[in-house]
A and B are shown apart, each in its own frame.
Chain A
Amino acid sequence: MDEPQVTAALAAEHGLNEDEYRRIVAAIGRIPTYVELGIFSVMWSEHCSYKSSRRWLRELPTTGPRVLQGPGENAGAMDIGDGLAAVFKIESHNHPSYVEPYQGAATGVGGIMRDVFTMGARPIANLDSLRFGAIDHPRTGYLVHGVVGGIGGYGNCIGVPTVGGDMYFDAGYNENILVNAFTLGIVRADRIFRASATGVGNPVIYVGSKTGRDGIHGASLLASAEFGDGTEHKRPTVQVGDPFTEKLLLEACLELMERDAIVAIQDMGAAGLTSSSVEMAARGETGIRLDLDRVPLREEGMTPYEILLSESQERMLIVAKAGSEDVVREVFAKWDLDAAIIGEVTDDRMIRIVFRGQEVACLPLEPLAEGAPKYERPAAASAEAEARQILNLDHVALPGDYNRALLGLLDSPNIASRQWVYRQYDHLVRGNTVVQPGSDAAVVRVKGTHKALALSVDCNSRYCLLDPYVGAMIAVVESARNVVCAGAVPLGISDCLNFGNPEKPAIMWQFVEAVHGIRDACNALGVPVVSGNVSFYNETEGRAIPPTPTIAMVGLMDDVTRHTTQWFKGEGDVIVLLGRTREELGGSEYLAQQGILTGTPPWIDLQVETHVHAVCTRAIQDGLVRSAHDCSEGGLAVALAECCLSGSVRGELGAVVELEGAIRPDALLFGESQSRIIVSLRRQHLGRLRELAERHETPFTVLGEVRGHRLTIGSLIDLTLKEMRQVWETALPRRLGAA
């Protein structure tokens, strides 16, 4: 094989800087071969090595009595009782989705599901968190159709319900959209599979689709470099998802796991065969020898370099117990899938690659894995960051017509009904979806128990841009508030940290602030981070996305019959606000609609937040309240409108509400103060709820009553549900066209 001469320059093309190249040469005591350079380049890429983020991620709380598996494995796992564990993780697929929205999003969903079922868990629910550019940007429509189509196309076809997510439109994502996918699975707590290759001599078995030239350097390189003019030639063959094959792979893997044949198993994701084998060997403190001639190939004449770095989808690497090879073959044959023994576990802490009888790579594991570079990059707030916080409300005129203002908000692509999205997703398959998309959190029951899990994903990146520390805290507490409103107790989170180029101090500062915000909020709520993902270099031509630390929250409820939804249930019920409304408009959708993007995000007191949660949780468990809805974008007025509108199929209930407060009326109606929940209840329970609130020092205000077919708020707002629904339900279809 005539391969390129390895030089510092070639290393640079592989995204390795001079210093890193020198470290490689020093670590192995010679110039690496071309194949070895490829291996180092992916293992040392930001995506695989977390070299810029590790030091900070260590500050996150990752332990707790219910944590069975924290960060470091394919996914996190938490004890939910009844001998079961919830396995979950969120992951980004941003760059591929911008290059080819349908396939990029589809393969993102496929990848995260593999991370979960490699742990032995049966996936029971997916979420998708999406960020697009301005909705009137010429490319946005195309991207939205492609991404939503791809998520549905893959999720619907593999039979895992997509039960929720979130979606925002912001010019800050015009050239760099975000597609974060989350999967939750259930497994017997004593049957969690891990990915450390042990047992010298055990066979290494390749299962799933054949290997092609798909996505070479895809996730690893693309996700570790900015977008720009250079991207064109870097662009790898786009990975095409095959959900049908993944469904077979899912069933085959779970079936095999019942057969006591597996030592370790890992998905071949970013950097495919390379990272899966290196990581498994490193975790097992063993070594692996691979014979590339035995790898099932889809294309002619593939080189070792290509075979090792291919990111073909729907593939897994298994370390089987010696002697159980036939069991593996039998199970995979049943599901019409390839299973090939391609190597074995060794004891020399080396990764050895053989091709046509020649050893084409022979590298020590240590420098590849643990020994990968770790940076504490300079972090400093930019001047803009401070300028952004300046806002003088005296220069903001009050609206002449509050009805118009509310209709304007209900028409906002960031607030309007998401039905256009979720009706394209199967959210029913597997028959566990107790609360479908359209309420604060989705609720999926756990068959064989009385329990259910509530799921929500959140992040307001406008807040994060104004103050990454507070914004990240709010992302955590809002997602927690969402599951609390459903009747669950926050259990744990998975976080997906989407940021710009970490080599820029201003970006690194955003990242560090956000990590600290998550850390402090999680500590206050007593909620651990059990898995997550970092996506840096979300930039195009030097323009970074707004910091977007997306939080996926999983909540647990012991009695599924005690769940609650956000919409009003009955004429005559009393409407109560838990929490206090302050004169806060910074970062609000209301100001954004007027083009005002400066200010400070809403204030957050974690103590108050936990009290509000305590009251709401107890009230739901005691059966006091019939609906609970978190106040988020658009404030109290929008939240009340949603309480009236979101229960569409379930009848139409209006509300008559009085609001007092010594603050600007627009802040009263549209301000986005945190730690607020709107509940509705039968009048006879009012007393008990009030006591509960007092006991937890939680502000308690009777707002009014569920009544009629209009929403009336004091003398400011009076609209029919019909006219509100018209706007709220058509806002997305009107702009995006038929799904």
Chain B
Amino acid sequence: MRWGVVTFPGSLDDHDALYAIDHVLGQTAIPLWHKERDLHGVDCVVLPGGFSYGDYLRCGALARFAPVMESVAGFARDGGLVFGICNGFQVLCEAGLLPGVLTRNRNLSFVCEYVHVRVESAATAFTRACGPGEILTLPIKHGEGCYVASEATLREIEEEGQVLLRYADAGGRVTEAANPNGSLHNIAGVMNRQRNVFGLMPHPEHAVEKALGGEDGLKLFRSIAASVAAGHTESVASVAPGP
């Protein structure tokens, strides 16, 4: 399969995503430049971590207007897989491709540390290589990762099973203490209603080698690869397209 990793001005973990995909996963990953609309026929678009446009005004707010985002939005509408990591997650929320918004961490400071997240559903294009309820250890590094959404939206995404990752303790208990940024419902990652766009605050691309903080992140990349191999549409088709 072919992966595309977008580089916005201020993207930082784009190299790391490319490295994880080609060096570790052993698949083809091509960089996508923010000024270009051509997605070069990739099977999955990765929006990487970083500080796109300096994260000025609001994280992800300025990046969402980059030319490439028009194509990404169309790609998503047609059922293409879109994977937003950290800043990429923020961009997807600002662009309205994912529900909710990411706000300043509850403790107001940037946090770089390893956390545990619980896989809420393994029956998706992004988590099929994980076990249901599996605990992944992944690093976070962000100042604005507090997930916020309206009551109605929260209810909907919970009912629709769109919450894929939740901050938890090593034993899988979802507690306040295990919540590093104050996210509502300990939400660490959500998917859209059509189940083809996924964003998360932790950095799977920084957990792909034993020597550097473990390999749990690979499971998410492998899930996507497997879904594409299996023609992921089957996991999309299962729900009627939403509004």
Contacts and interface: CB of A to CB of B under 8 A. Distances in A.
A660 B69 CA distance: 69
A338 to B, nearest CB: 15
Given A428-B139, A428-B213, A433-B212, A159 B12 contact: yes
Given A159-B12, A242-B54, A428 B112 contact: yes
Interface in A235-286: 242-245, 247-248
B73 to A, nearest CB: 22
B51 A426 contact: no
B54 A428 contact: no
A427 B139 CA distance: 10
B54 A152 contact: no
A428 B13 CA distance: 10
A427 B51 contact: no
Given A423-B111, A431-B212, A739-B109, A244 B9 contact: yes
Identify the interface centre among B50, B55, B110: most chain A CB within 10 Å of its CB: B110
A700 interface: no
A100 B10 CA distance: 25
14 contacts: A157-B51, A242-B54, A245-B54, A247-B10, A248-B9, A424-B110, A424-B112, A425-B112, A428-B206, A431-B19, A431-B205, A434-B212, A560-B211, A649-B114
Interface string A415-437: 00000001111111111111000
B53 interface: yes
Interface in B83-114: 107-114
A449 interface: no
B15 interface: yes
Contacts of B111: 423-424
Contacts of A159: 12-13, 50-51
Q: How large is the interface on A (under 10, 10 to 19, 20 to 34, 35 or more residues)?
A: 20 to 34
B48 to A, nearest CB: 10
B211 A434 contact: yes
B141 interface: yes
A156 B13 contact: no
Contacts of B203: 428
B56 A738 contact: no
B12 A336 contact: no
Interface in B198-214: 203, 205-206, 211-213
Contacts of B9: 244, 247-248, 335-336
A561 interface: yes
Nearest to B203: A428
Given A156-B51, A244-B10, A248-B9, A561 B211 contact: yes
Interface string A299-321: 00000000000000000000000
B16 interface: yes
Given A244-B10, A431-B19, A649-B114, A739 B54 contact: no
A335 B203 CA distance: 26
Contact of A738 (B107, B139, B212, B213): B107
Interface in B41-67: 49-51, 53-56
Contacts of B212: 431-434
Given A152-B110, A247-B10, A336-B9, A428 B55 contact: no
B205 to A, nearest CB: 8
A287 B27 CA distance: 53
B67 to A, nearest CB: 13
A430 B15 contact: yes
* Max chain B C-beta neighbours (<10 A), residue from A157, A248, A430, A739: A157
Chain B CB within 10 A, most for which of A149, A426, A560, A738: A426
B19 A427 contact: no
A434 B9 CA distance: 27
B141 A429 contact: yes
Given A426-B141, A738-B107, A244 B54 contact: yes
Given A156-B51, A156-B110, A428-B141, 12 more contacts: A157-B10, A159-B12, A159-B51, A244-B9, A426-B110, A426-B112, A428-B139, A428-B213, A429-B12, A429-B49, A649-B114, A739-B107
Interface string A327-344: 000000001100000000
A158 B9 CA distance: 11
Contacts of A248: 9-10
Contacts of A152: 110
Q: Which of B111, B141, B205 has the most CB of A within 10 A?
A: B141
Nearest to A247: B10
Interface in B7-33: 9-10, 12-13, 15-16, 19-20
Contacts of B16: 429-431
Contact of B53 (A244, A425, A431, A560): A244
Given A157-B54, A429-B141, A424 B109 contact: yes
Interface in A84-142: none
Given A156-B51, A242-B54, A244-B53, A431 B206 contact: yes
